[in-house]
Copies of this chain bind each other. A is one copy, B any other.
């Protein structure tokens, strides 16, 4: 837990137990969860937790680049801790998101268009290996 305290401190964020457990949850569960999933899972051991707090914590962590929001599904935001450039695959059938470890060779080119680049997302959509196996 000290690990997460350090991260918050480094980013001048106030240390609260709620931010710590949200951060820990994302660090230990690389399932690219929704805000609601995070809330439901944490609520079990933290009955006083509010869903708004989860949203607030996610916004605060995002502002400082500690976590990132993934917009791949189109209907809900999914969150993860970005460790190194990678892409995301979204299964249209089961909704799962999996990391695709490819880095983008275009990154340097992006700034040549005159816009200030802050985030780069590589999204791939289709049917995942496991759903393919199960058949339709």
Bits for A93-133, please: 1 = Cβ < 8 Å to B, else 0: 00000101010111001100111111111111111110010
Taking CB atoms and an 8 Å cut-off, the chain A residues in 65-100 that contact chain B are 69, 71-74, 77, 87, 89, 91-92, 98, 100
Given A71-B71, A73-B71, A74-B77 in contact, is the A115-B127 Cβ separation under 8 Å? yes
State in angstroms the CA–CA spacing of A104 and B91 once bound together. Answer: 20
Quick one: which of B74, B87, B92, B119 contacts A126, CB cutoff 8 A?
A: B119
List 18 interface pairs A-B (beta carbons < 8 Å), by A numbering: A69-B74, A71-B73, A72-B121, A89-B113, A98-B113, A102-B110, A104-B104, A105-B105, A106-B122, A114-B129, A115-B129, A117-B124, A117-B125, A118-B125, A118-B126, A119-B123, A120-B125, A121-B123
